[in-house]
Amino acid sequence: MDTWFGEVEISDEGEIEKCNLSSRDPKELAERIHQIQKKGTAFRAGIELREIAFQCGFVDNDSEYLSLLQEACVEAARQSIKESYTPDLPIIHAVGVIDDIDEAVNLLAERLSVWYGDHFPELGLKTSDLASFVESKGLRNDMSPDDSFYVLTENSMGCPMGEKEGLILKAFAGDILALYERRSSLEQYIRDNMEDVAANLCHLAGPLLGARLISMAGSLKKLASLPSSTIQVMGANNALFKHLRSKAPSPKHGIIFNHPLVKGSSPRNRGKIARALAAKISLAARIDAFSGEFRPFLKDELEKKVASIESRQEKKRKGVGK
């Protein structure tokens, strides 16, 4: 019988016949724990490992047994964390941070729009444009006559604001711009690293869409294990549930709608093109996950498939027109 502290032979009567004990090194004990977990070893009912450890002479008392077991488990957890690291993990974290930034910056930009709108409602700028304007120009009273927005300030219906509020708004706008800049740097990080993590997926779907698919699946290997039909509708959860609950039409695509070949196609062809794209994405993910060989012809095959779909649809449309 394999135990975390060594191999033990036990007779049918429950008597210990032989003990082959491991060293008391936590790393070696942690490795034994990993091996037992991989094998899925099932212990015989009624076996008390602590008593066996005492009888084999591995430890002398409960305190020593629990202390060694704790050290071994901590080391096993540490090794598991190291082994669980994969090159796609930073990409997944980067996508998650982008989502968090989007949520935060949208709320903050809306707050800036409302607050500054009380002062200068005629401006008409939103999001990053508004933040850039406020951060650089401040209040409407601060603008010089040669500024392109100066005409709007002369008859503005907005309420006046003092210097103190102006400084707060400028600092607030600067914080929002910093978030936009951080988001851009994260997107650039994804572009720079996706080719090393998943070259085929990056070439086929683009670095940002490819990273998004990996993040939604949980990892590159999990994405590779998904059928193309699932990849096709990833991100369309609400539409899919609505279809399952009622008689609503099934979704033709999810997040892959952002791919230029799908987004730029006619609604009549969009479902077929999305299906073709999902099939190629599934294949690209499997190649990246299990072989790593770069196959640029996957994109060429997809483009030919899309051209064929559009050509058939065009011929069919002209035939119907006659």
pLDDT of residue 21: 86
What is the sign of the dihedral through the CA atoms of 170, 175, 181 and 187?
A: negative
pLDDT of residue 321: 46
CATH number at residue 233: 1.10.246.90
Per-residue pLDDT of the chain (322 residues; tens, 9 = 90+): 788 888 888 777 777 878 888 888 888 988 888 888 877 665 555 678 888 888 888 888 889 989 999 999 998 888 887 777 788 999 999 999 999 999 999 999 999 999 999 999 999 899 999 999 999 999 988 888 888 888 888 888 989 899 999 999 999 999 999 999 999 999 999 999 999 999 999 999 999 999 999 999 999 999 999 999 999 999 887 766 676 677 767 778 889 999 999 998 888 899 999 999 999 999 999 999 999 899 999 999 999 999 999 888 777 777 654 4
CATH number at residue 115: 1.10.287.4070
The CA distances from residue 246 to 68, 230, 240, 253, in Å, are: 57, 20, 10, 18
Quick one: 300 and 276 in the same domain? yes
Quick one: 158 and 209 in the same domain? no
The CA distances from residue 123 to 139, 140, 148, 157, in Å, are: 11, 10, 11, 11
How many domains are there within the chain?
3
Quick one: 119 and 68 in the same domain? no
pLDDT of residue 243: 65
* Contacting residues for 89 by C-beta, under 8 A, at least 6 apart: 219
Say how many C-beta atoms besides its own lie within 10 A of residue 165's C-beta: 15
Tracing tokens 């096709």 back to the chain, one arrives at 232
Q: Are 255 and 279 in contact (CB under 8 A)?
A: no
Say how many C-beta atoms besides its own lie within 10 A of residue 168's C-beta: 13
Q: How many Cα atoms within 13 Å fall on the side-chain side of residue 205? A: 31
Q: Are 143 and 137 in contact (CB under 8 A)?
A: yes
pLDDT of residue 58: 87
Quick one: 205 and 304 in the same domain? yes
Measured between its terminal Cα atoms, the distance across the chain in Å is 80
Q: Are 124 and 213 in contact (CB under 8 A)?
A: no
Quick one: 43 and 63 in the same domain? yes
Alpha helices in 237-296 (DSSP H): 237-245, 260-263, 267-290
Domain end call among 84, 102, 137: 84
| Reported pTM | 0.76
Domain end call among 137, 163, 190: 190
Domain end call among 156, 190, 224: 190
Quick one: 55 and 109 in the same domain? no
Quick one: 121 and 160 in the same domain? yes
pLDDT of residue 46: 60
Range of the domain at 304: 198-321
Quick one: 245 and 161 in the same domain? no
Distance CA 196, CA 192 (A): 8
Quick one: 202 and 295 in the same domain? yes
Quick one: 98 and 203 in the same domain? no
pLDDT of residue 322: 44
Quick one: 71 and 107 in the same domain? no
Quick one: 167 and 227 in the same domain? no
CA angle 272, 276, 282 (to 5 degrees): 140
